[in-house]
Amino acid sequence: MESNGDLDADLNKLEKARHRFISEIAKNVHLYGISPSVGRLYGTVFFSDKPMTLDEMSESLGMSKTSMSTGIRALYEANMVEQVWEKGVRKDLYKTEEDWYKSFSTVFITRWRNATEKNVTAIKETKSMLHELGETTSCDEIKEKVTRDLNRLTEAEAYYGWINDVISLFESGKIFDIVPKKQKVNT
């Protein structure tokens, strides 16, 4: 006990330092559509010396294996962790994606692309319903409303076109010509 008293204290310090960052990730990871506790899972895997199994995560976080399974899947879909194979190891192994730029892009692209497409579809359908109404109605007041709505929806469409272009900027990687990746600088 005397011989490794310092070691235990140091390991504790290490954990504390790591936890400082992990808890901050947990608080902010909602931007990636990830819940805080899955954010802690990410942080745990991030600081692990080697790829982790679901059982190790469960053990380390004191949470059920089921939660680890669903949590890891969420992280995987956000391109925030990746699976690793090791010869002779039957369990699934996961480590954090090292290219954070890629994780960011994946999340940003898939979420916004998906939303944009659906909204554009909705706009087109709404417009078509309004067009029909505008032609069949005999009430001038309604005609006016229809015209106004069609106008605003066309504006919305233009906006989504812009969003789409922004997404493409990230998807194509051209964003990195405009905003270059940073070199590591020691502070």
Partner DNA sequence: AACTCTGTACAGTTTTTTCTGTACGAACTT
Partner DNA sequence: AAGTTCGTACAGAAAAAACTGTACAGAGTT
Q: How far is the CB of 81 from DNA (least distance, A)?
A: 12
Query: What are the DSSP calls for 70-119, one per residue?
Result: HHHHHHHHTTSEEEE--TT--S-EEEE-S-HHHHHHHHHHHHHHHHHHHH
Site for DNA in 43-62 (CB under 7 A): 53-55, 62
Q: Which does 66 bind (CB under 5 to 8 A by kind): a copy of itself, DNA, none?
A: DNA
Site for a copy of itself in 51-80 (CB under 8 A): none
* 52 three-state secondary structure: strand
Q: Which does 109 bind (CB under 5 to 8 A by kind): DNA, a copy of itself, none?
A: none
Q: How far is the CB of 69 from DNA (least distance, A)?
A: 4
Q: How far is the CB of 90 from a copy of itself (least distance, A)?
A: 27
Residue closer to a copy of itself by CB (options 14, 69) is: 14
Contact 106, 79 (CB under 8 A): yes
CA distances from 128 to 2, 12, 142, 145, 150 (A): 80, 64, 15, 15, 9
Assess 65 for contact with DNA (CB under 7 A). Answer: yes
Assess 23 for contact with DNA (CB under 7 A). Answer: no
Cross-strand partners of 95? 82
CA distances from 38 to 69, 79, 154 (A): 10, 14, 39
Among 2, 3, 62, 139, binds a copy of itself (CB under 8 A): 139
Assess 159 for contact with a copy of itself (CB under 8 A). Answer: yes
> What residues line the site for DNA (CB under 7 A)?
35, 37-38, 53-55, 62-67, 69-73, 90-92
